[in-house]
Chain A
Amino acid sequence: MANPAHAVPADHAAAPTQSYFMSWLMTTDHKRIGVLYGLSAICFFVLGGIEALVIRTQLAAPGQHIVDAATYNALFTMHGTTMIFLGVMPMSAAFFNYLIPLQIGARDVVFPRLNAFSFWLFLFGAIVLNVPFLLTPFVDMRVIPDGGWFGYATLTEKTYTPGASIDFWICGLQILGVASMAAGFNFIVTIFNLRAPGMSLLRMPVFTWMTLVVQFLVVLSFPCITIALVLLMFDRLFGTHFYMPEGGGDPLLWQHLFWLFGHPEVYILILPAMGIVSEVLPTFSRKPLFGAPFVIFSGITIGLLGFGVWSHHMFTTGLGATSDAAFSVTTMLIAIPTGVKIFNWLATIWGGQLRLTTSMLYALGFVCMFTMGGLSGIMHASPPVDLQQQDSYFVVAHFHYVLFGGAVFGLLSGIYYWFPKMNGRFLSESWGKVIFWILFVGFNTTFFPMHIVGAAGMPRRIYTYDAGLGWETPNLIETVGAFTIAVGVLFFVIDLVRSIRSTSGPLAGPNPWDGSSLEWVTESPPKVHNFDVTPTVYSERPVWEKNYGPGPGYSLPTVEEHIHLPPPSIRPFYLATGVAWFLVSWLVAGQFFTFGVCSALVAVCVILYSCVSWFLEEGH
């Protein structure tokens, strides 16, 4: 899409003949795609939560048999995979999609159809991962992924996991990988090219900055897992030996490739939440972000260092002293930019006028619990301590403090902050605060005791345990906490649905929270084309400065603009179908080889047809 200023008039905006359903299927509007990501993420978050509840019920007391060992192993595999790839990542993607064009003063992303393609492919990948739950009753083999979210070879090789479970996992993750890569490039190009006049890089909102860093992490790290999965697929399908020592392979090759993706992935999950918190804390403190350039450069540093620490997941694998020492030191280095961020957030609220809205409570909760997760992280950055904590419940406590207390609380803060922008009306503030406290108490009740039970030597990924090791009480408390979280999430979903459907309640107006970035210029909810005229930006806090000085903040040119919007298109859906079909064919080939290969060839035809018709489509 060209720069809007030079574009043709908007005559394709919405074809009136489309049904409501088709209008969503064919949408190329970044806001609607953002909503699709957000709603899917909430559905999968609930699904992953139900899996967690079964896990916690099983572990409530020693020696229980609510589910058998095989089912339990499938549940923790799917819980991890779901929460990471289908819960937190798409919820972040929802914010990227909805907010980035608004924050940089653009009408859409650079490649709107590619954006739609990413979403549909994500949805297909999510379905492939979860469809085994429905297949299980009808087939005579294990089909639910059960190799752990980390899928360590040699366990995931055909010799040790002969069913189709790992094939579903490989296929689902490959589809999700393509979706993430496409979205990653799309947002990098968008952020670099579509910023409003005057918005230099250092005037970009911190959330946009963190999004940019995350997209680089995505496009640099996902190829690692793609390669790892292709090699695993070759081992399983064609009998190669990339990870099998019998054939000269090495199971640690998998771990290197996986964690070279897996550790940046942690920052892919947490940096968007850090970006959100860096927007919410200043707004509700009525102050600028303290040391904004330092917060931004810390985010970049965390992203860069994130590629140099992967082997800290492998301290117990015997890489040798030099390697352990090097990766230990690089891991500790990450504590420095992380600490800088935390202290800057504290300095931001210090001396402010704090309005404790629900969004602000979640942001403060983020700082509180992310700090906790960071501090426990320093412990296993030290290999001697890691030799005791690795694969114990202490680590489970650690990363839930980072990813639930951190990422999820940050995302919830963002939902409460931007919901009025998206919906035009607020989520219930009074319910919101109740839900916050339920989740805060429930979260700590669930995950704090995991430190204790981990220090008492309880390994991860065990479906049962014996009495008498001091593990009973903490486990019971954890289960109570898990159900408390479930109550909080239930209330949240009820309030969300009610608020979306509600036609009463106060209107938000363009800038309900006295925010400072460009999305607060436009109406709530924003018009299809976001801005009538593209604003010119003079400050890193355009809206605040416009209202309070000292500078002009931003200005709206009076020149008439031609607004070009991408017309709806079904091509992204077709192409996503083709790509997903192609990858599913290899999953099928695991059981029915010839049929799978033929199916892959047909899929290639679908892909070619979709591509050609995509290129030839008018109006783009």
Chain B
Amino acid sequence: MLAPRRLLARLFAVVGSVLPLALVAGCGSSTMSTIEGHSDLTRSILDIYGTIFWIDLFLFVLVQGILIVAVIKFRATGKETAPPEQVHGNLQMEVGWTIAPVLILLVIAIPTVSFIFDSQAQAKDDALVVNATGKQWWFKFEYPGYSFETANEIHVPLGRQVDVRLQSDNVIHAFWAPQIAAKRDMVPGRVNHITFTADTVGTFLGQCAEYCQDSHALMKFRVMVDTPEDFEKWANHEKQPVADTNEASDGFKAFQGATCIACHAIAGSSAQARVGPNLTHVGSRTRIAAGLLENNEANLKLWLKDPSAVKPGEGRNGVGMPNLNLTDEQITTLVAYLQSLK
């Protein structure tokens, strides 16, 4: 069998001749492409994907070829004097096209079944455990080995197995990072696992794949694959409480006054609520609003002004971030404070 990369290049050559869509293939990490793998898990998926693709292509050409040839060759001329030979069937042929698919399916089924058991094997003892919880509409990530919590951005080390434990305490979500982790559902009342070992440093996109109401389309996350050193540095920084725990500061007072403190935690302060995302190091995240917006002053202001204008359904029915009707002054103070939480 061809190597996945070459195979996929060919796959796109085939597809590209049908539609000018080469743009799907390129662009490296900034896509959701399912035919680019950057972990052991997604690469072994691609091997099977490729096998089935070639079998499918063969069968497609075979069936459509026979169909087209038959239509051209056997079209009535209008000059026929008698009906064609009345063939009712042929046992050998029936047996043939019953057994042939069985053999073809074996070629698919054997690697499929072996993948199923391999990919769902128990994680290694030294695997990095990340607890991922689906919320309406964001992802909570806890690192029990390091005792900290973050949101919407998960960092993992290169070359070390990661065991993402997927759960939900509301509706069903799905954790889908096509190039790193493929997909598994976050089902209330269960813990599902995805185990993978990333093999490329970079930032990879992910998105919720199970319909979860209003802002399902905007429920995104990122997987950052770091070198082991960078990962340790990041994790050790994340588990530090905030440097400035002065609760008399204008920023923290605004945080209390605007009732942010009722839902959000900032480690090392009296803010310990766990309803919304943990904001301890929110200033160092690259995105806000579940991966939707770049983390900058303008977007933070936009978000605080009216969350439901950015993500529909926020604050409706007691779900997500309500519109707190903050004054411009409050917003300015809060944004400065949040940006200081590096």
Contacts and interface: CB of A to CB of B under 8 A. Distances in A.
Interface string B30-52: 11111100000010110011001
A575 B32 CA distance: 53
Contact of A388 (B15, B25, B34, B64): B34
Contacts of B85: 287, 351
B94 interface: yes
B196 to A, nearest CB: 11
Contacts of B184: 316, 318, 387
B172 A346 contact: no
Interface stretch (B100-108, B267-275, B322-330): B100-108
A350 B98 CA distance: 19
Which of B190, B192, B208, B215 has the most C-beta atoms of chain A within 10 angstroms of its own C-beta? B190
Contacts of B55: 378
A611 to B, nearest CB: 41
A251 B32 contact: no
Interface string A446-477: 00110011111111111111001110011001
B115 to A, nearest CB: 5
B179 to A, nearest CB: 9
Interface stretch (B67-75, B125-133, B239-247, B297-305): B67-75
Interface in B144-168: 166
Given A155-B172, A328-B112, A457-B178, A384 B119 contact: yes
B214 interface: yes
A458 B87 CA distance: 47
Interface in A135-176: 146, 148, 152, 154-155, 160-162
Nearest to B59: A375
Interface in A372-393: 372, 375-376, 378-379, 381-385, 387-392
A290 B88 contact: yes
A208 interface: no
Contacts of A162: 317
B101 A317 contact: no
Contacts of A195: none
B315 interface: no
A455 B101 contact: no
A335 interface: yes
B33 to A, nearest CB: 5
Interface stretch (B16-24, B223-231, B255-263, B331-339): B16-24
A432 B205 CA distance: 47
Given A287-B84, A368-B64, A382 B112 contact: yes
A73 B214 contact: yes
Nearest to A338: B101
A456 B34 contact: yes
Contact of A355 (B76, B209, B211): B76
A474 B19 contact: yes
Interface size class of A (residues with CB under 8 A): 35 or more
B174 interface: yes
A286 B84 contact: yes
Nearest to A349: B70
Interface stretch (A15-23, A99-107, A319-327, A602-610): A319-327
B34 A457 contact: yes
B217 A463 contact: yes
Interface in B109-145: 109, 112-113, 115-117, 119-120, 136
B105 A335 contact: yes
B97 A70 contact: no
B275 to A, nearest CB: 16
Contacts of B21: 449, 452, 470, 473-474
A252 interface: yes
Given A457-B34, A459-B208, A384 B112 contact: yes
B312 to A, nearest CB: 4
B171 A160 contact: yes
B176 A371 contact: no
Contacts of B312: 68-70
A288 B88 contact: yes
A371 B224 CA distance: 40
B24 A382 contact: no
A456 B120 contact: no
B209 A390 contact: yes
B207 interface: yes
Nearest to B220: A466
Interface residues of B, number: 96
A353 B56 contact: no
Contacts of B211: 73, 148, 152, 155, 391, 460-461
B183 A391 contact: yes
A566 B62 CA distance: 51
Contacts of B136: 160
A334 to B, nearest CB: 10
Contact of B105 (A290, A336, A470): A336
A601 to B, nearest CB: 33
Contacts of B23: 470, 473
Contact of A251 (B86, B90, B113, B172): B172
Interface in A539-553: 548
Given A318-B185, A470-B33, A154 B208 contact: no
Interface string A341-370: 011101101111111100000001001100
Contacts of A160: 136, 170-171, 213, 317, 319
A353 B76 contact: yes
Contacts of A293: 89
B27 interface: yes
Nearest to B99: A336
A251 B112 contact: no
B31 A469 contact: yes
A70 B313 contact: yes
Contacts of B341: none
B22 to A, nearest CB: 9
B170 A245 contact: no
A321 B120 contact: yes
Contacts of A463: 217
A294 interface: yes
B176 A287 contact: no
Contact of B67 (A290, A368, A460): A368
Given A155-B211, A160-B317, A290-B87, 15 more contacts: A73-B216, A161-B213, A287-B84, A288-B86, A290-B89, A335-B101, A336-B102, A356-B75, A368-B64, A385-B48, A385-B49, A454-B34, A455-B35, A470-B24, A473-B19
Interface of B: 15, 18-21, 23-25, 27, 30-35, 42, 44-45, 48-49, 52-53, 55-56, 59-60, 63-64, 66-67, 70-71, 74-77, 80, 83-90, 93-94, 97-98, 101-102, 105, 108-109, 112-113, 115-117, 119-120, 136, 166, 170-172, 174, 176, 178, 182-185, 187-190, 192-193, 205, 207-218, 312-313, 317, 319
15 contacts: A69-B312, A250-B189, A290-B88, A316-B183, A351-B85, A352-B74, A353-B74, A354-B76, A384-B48, A385-B49, A387-B183, A391-B210, A461-B216, A470-B31, A470-B33
The 3 closest A-B pairs by CB, nearest first: A457-B32, A245-B189, A462-B217
